[in-house]
Structure formats: C-alpha cells, structure tokens
C-alpha cells in the first residue's frame, strides 16, 4: 500500500509507484484529500492498475479502513508530511490513510518531505523518534532544493532509493532488531592530495558500505554514512557526511556518537609528505620522479583506543591478497589482534573482482574467537550477515 500525503513532493510519489509496479508488486494507492490537490486520482489509478482508495465510506461493505491495513505486506508513505507524522504518532484516525496505519501489522516505511523549519522543529523530531521506537522505518529526508528558493534538509529522498528501501524490507521481512540503534558507517575510499590535481587513492567504490547502511535502515537503525569519494549514491534514510582525506575521515568519525561503528571505508595507508600548492608541471620534472610518502592516521585503531567500556561495538574491514584461505585467515587474525576491534570482516581481493562488484565473499572474525564464513553472495546479504552478528552483541 502506497500512502500519499498532501505535500508538493506528491508528484515524486508517482515515480515511487512506477518503481514498485515495475518490480512486480501490486500497489493500492491511498492518497489523502490534500494529496489529490497535487496529483489527481486518474494518475494513481492508471499507473497502479488498481482502484484508488480515498474514502472511509466508499465500498463500506468491504470495510476498507480495516481491510487495507490487514492485507498489506508493506505500507509506504511518500511523502510523509509533518501532519501525517504527527497524526501517526498520536493514533489519530480521521481519514482512510491514518485508519489504515492503525490496522497495519506489516512493516511501515515513511519517507518524510517538508520544509526545513518543519523537519527540525522539536515536535516533528519527537514524533519521528517515537515512531522509530515503535519499529516504524522513518527515512532521513534528503537535503537540497525545496519549494521556491528554500534549500535544506526536508527534501523527499530519491524515489529510486525509496523503492530500494522497500525492496529490502520485503526481501528480508525485518524484525527491527536494530530499532533505535545509532550506527556510523564509513564507506568509499580516501584520496590524499599530491598537488591540486593529483592524489593517491584506491579502488574502493563504496558499494559494500552503502549496502551496510541500507540494510541497517531496513532493520530500524538510525544511520550516519561518512562517505569518501563513493562511486554509488547513498541509500535513502541516512545522514551523509562527506569527506575526502584520511584526516577528514578521522575527524568525522570521532565527531559522531554511536552504538555501533563500522569502518568499511578503504583508507589510503600513505600520503605525500608534502602537498604542492600548485600543479606540478611534467615538463619541469627531469627523469625519474621520487615521491616522499608518510603513513596516514590509523582511524580504526584510534576509534578503539578512544572507546571506554563495551560501547560502541566497532567493526573493521580488511581487504587482503593471500596465497591460500589459511593465509587469509592468518592475515585477518593478525589484523584483528592489532586493531582491537570486536569484529573484522576479511575479504580476499586478489582472486575475484570485488571492488565495484555487486557481490562479495567474506569471513567475519570475532574478538571472542568466533568465525563466520559468508559464501559469495550479494553485498546486501553480506551486510545482513554482519548485522546478524552485531544485533545480539547489543543486548544487555
């Protein structure tokens, strides 16, 4: 069921509907009367191929205000205005959409869209927090151009990203075992400047970090994604902090408050000893060029060192080239001991295409001596395997 509230972003919900129907799902659209001021009933009916549900009193013999919620596999509200968030929080049932929310026993995904002042208002933030505590997935809005000249957080997440979030909910049927958990994930690869044009970097695309973030959101977590030069867009529902270098990543990770930290970003191990203020001209260089390097800050080790007590749970990643599976485990266990993190995700990057691929094969090592091998599968499945190990460790 796709609920559409009365905001200007209702026109973008048309793309959400198209994405869901093209994925093979049967979608019943339930727009509010205010939403119909923006997009008319014929549009919803034509694109869904279903009769549009608009009134509590229509088809009363079928009791739609109860049936729609009971029969849905997932309820998606896009856009979710400040008004619908408030009414959902307090159990107000004064139209078909809010009646349906009260009867739904399936996962509920809400994609907020409103002006920045409305989103940051303490009342809205309190409502969002309460909804999330109940297990409702409230995506973080995007930041960008709003109506008129206004710019800021409150923009509806990209419709494709909303559809991806819904697919993930349907794929896994989450139990919200990460509901309310604050998770910070780093993704992508840092770049260390040599001059204003050139840099030292790595081949990380950020795809695994993005899948970690997306699956964590689908399990109810509040996710901050610290992104370094990713080649894939961030998922809907996360707060994005953009960084470039290892030093910037180090600072950003230490500024976050979290229950769980996942260092999935590929941090460049070296950086030029000095950065030239201007582009180094090739014609000014004679013969071989020597570039003096120095090591970058060890972000993972510094996060472990800063921790007091058992929180946050810290997860590291190790991309290794190994001579054999036994050698890979040896390298992983050695790094786990050096870094001191709780879990280490080890993958071999020499034998198969890992960087930028949609699939991965990993071994997850625990500081408690545990070992879980995940056969080659989608990076979303790898992410869920990691969260399956993290969730129990969050219990008292």
The answer to whether the Cα torsion of 218, 387, 126, 173 is positive or negative is: positive
Residue 117 has what pLDDT? 92
pLDDT digits (tens, 9 = 90+) for 315-326: 999 887 777 888
First to last CA, the chain: 36
Residue 356 has what pLDDT? 56
- The answer to whether the predicted template modeling score (pTM) of the entire model surpasses 0.85 is no
Q: Which of 128, 99, 98, 102 is nearest to 113 (CA)?
A: 128
Rounded mean pLDDT, 191-219:
89
At a CB cut-off of 8 Å and minimum separation 6, what does 323 contact?
none
The answer to whether the beta carbons of residues 159 and 146 sit under 8 Å apart is no
Rounded mean pLDDT, 221-239:
90
Residue 60 has what pLDDT? 56
β-sheet bridge partners, residue 2: 29, 76
State phi, psi for 224 to the nearest 5 degrees. Answer: -110, 125
CA separation, residue 125 to residues 18, 120, 128, 303, 320 (Å) = 30, 6, 5, 29, 42
Q: Which of 50, 69, 158, 71 is nearest to 111 (CA)?
A: 158
57 pLDDT band, cuts 50/70/90, is: low
The answer to whether the beta carbons of residues 94 and 101 sit under 8 Å apart is no
Out of 61-75, 274-288, 332-346, least confident range: 61-75
359 pLDDT band, cuts 50/70/90, is: confident
**At residue 345, does pLDDT exceed 60?**
yes
Q: What percent of the chain has pLDDT over 70?
A: 95
What percent of the residues of the chain are helix, what percent strand, and what percent coil, each to the nearest 5?
Answer: 35, 25, 40
- For strand 151-155 and strand 142-145, is the pairing parallel, antiparallel, or unpaired? antiparallel
Out of 57-61, 63-67, 75-79, least confident range: 57-61
Fold agreement between 2-172 and 182-393: yes
Residue 282 has what pLDDT? 78
Residue 128 has what pLDDT? 92
pLDDT digits (tens, 9 = 90+) for 122-135: 999 999 989 988 88
Residue 174 has what pLDDT? 55
Catalogue the active-site residues: 202
**At residue 62, does pLDDT exceed 80?**
no
Out of 25-39, 55-69, 142-156, least confident range: 55-69
Element (H, E) at 200: strand 199-200
203: its two tokens: 């081949």
277 burial via Cβ count (<10 Å: 0-12, 13-18, 19+):
exposed
The answer to whether the beta carbons of residues 160 and 214 sit under 8 Å apart is no
Ranges of each domain in the chain: 2-172, 182-393
The answer to whether the beta carbons of residues 26 and 52 sit under 8 Å apart is no
Residue 58 has what pLDDT? 61
Q: Which fold has domain 182-393?
A: Rossmann fold (3.40.50)
Name the one residue in this structure whose structure tokens are 């060192």: 305
Average pLDDT, the chain: 88
The 8-class DSSP code of residue 354 comes to -
Q: Which CATH superfamily is domain 2-172 in?
A: Flavin prenyltransferase-like (3.40.50.1950)
**At residue 55, does pLDDT exceed 90?**
no
């Amino acid at each position: 069921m796709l609920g559409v509230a009365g905001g200007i972003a209702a026109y973008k919900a048309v793309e959400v509907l198209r994405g869901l129907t093209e994925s093979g799902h049967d979608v019943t659209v339930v727009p509010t009367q205010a939403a119909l001021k923006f997009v008319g009933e014929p549009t919803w009916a034509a694109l869904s191929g279903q009769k549009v549900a608009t009134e509590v009193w229509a088809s009363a013999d079928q009791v739609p205000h109860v049936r729609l919620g009971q029969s849905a596999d997932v309820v998606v509200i896009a856009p979710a205005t400040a008004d619908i968030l408030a009414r959902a929080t307090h159990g107000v049932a004064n139209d078909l959409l809010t009646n349906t929310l009260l009867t739904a026993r399936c996962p509920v995904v809400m994609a907020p869209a409103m002006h920045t002042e409305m989103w940051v208002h303490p009342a809205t933030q309190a409502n969002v927090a309460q909804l999330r505590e109940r297990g409702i997935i409230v995506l973080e809005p995007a930041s960008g151009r709003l109506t008129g000249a206004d710019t800021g957080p409150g923009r509806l997440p990209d419709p494709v990203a909303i559809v991806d979030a819904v697919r993930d909910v349907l794929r896994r049927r989450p139990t919200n075992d990460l509901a309310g958990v604050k998770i910070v994930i780093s993704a992508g690869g840092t770049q260390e400047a040599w001059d204003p044009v050139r840099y030292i970097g790595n081949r990380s695309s950020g795809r695994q970090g993005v899948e970690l973030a997306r699956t964590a959101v689908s399990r109810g977590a509040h996710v901050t994604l610290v992104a370094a030069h990713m080649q894939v867009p961030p998922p809907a529902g996360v707060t994005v902090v953009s960084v470039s270098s290892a030093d910037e990543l180090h600072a950003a990770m230490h500024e976050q408050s979290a229950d769980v930290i996942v260092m999935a970003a590929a941090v460049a191990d070296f950086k030029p000893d000095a950065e030239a203020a201007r582009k180094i001209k090739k014609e000014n260089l004679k013969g071989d060029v020597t570039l003096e390097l120095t090591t970058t800050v060890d972000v993972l080790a510094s996060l472990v060192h800063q921790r007091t007590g058992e929180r946050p749970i810290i997860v590291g990643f190790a991309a290794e080239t190994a001579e054999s599976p036994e050698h890979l485990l040896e390298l992983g266990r050695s790094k786990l001991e050096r870094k001191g993190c709780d879990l280490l995700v080890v993958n071999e990057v020499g034998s198969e295409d890992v960087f930028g691929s949609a699939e991965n094969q990993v071994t997850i090592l625990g500081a408690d001596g545990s070992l879980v091998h995940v056969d080659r599968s989608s990076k979303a499945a790898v992410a869920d395997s990691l969260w399956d190990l993290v969730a129990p460790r969050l219990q008292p």
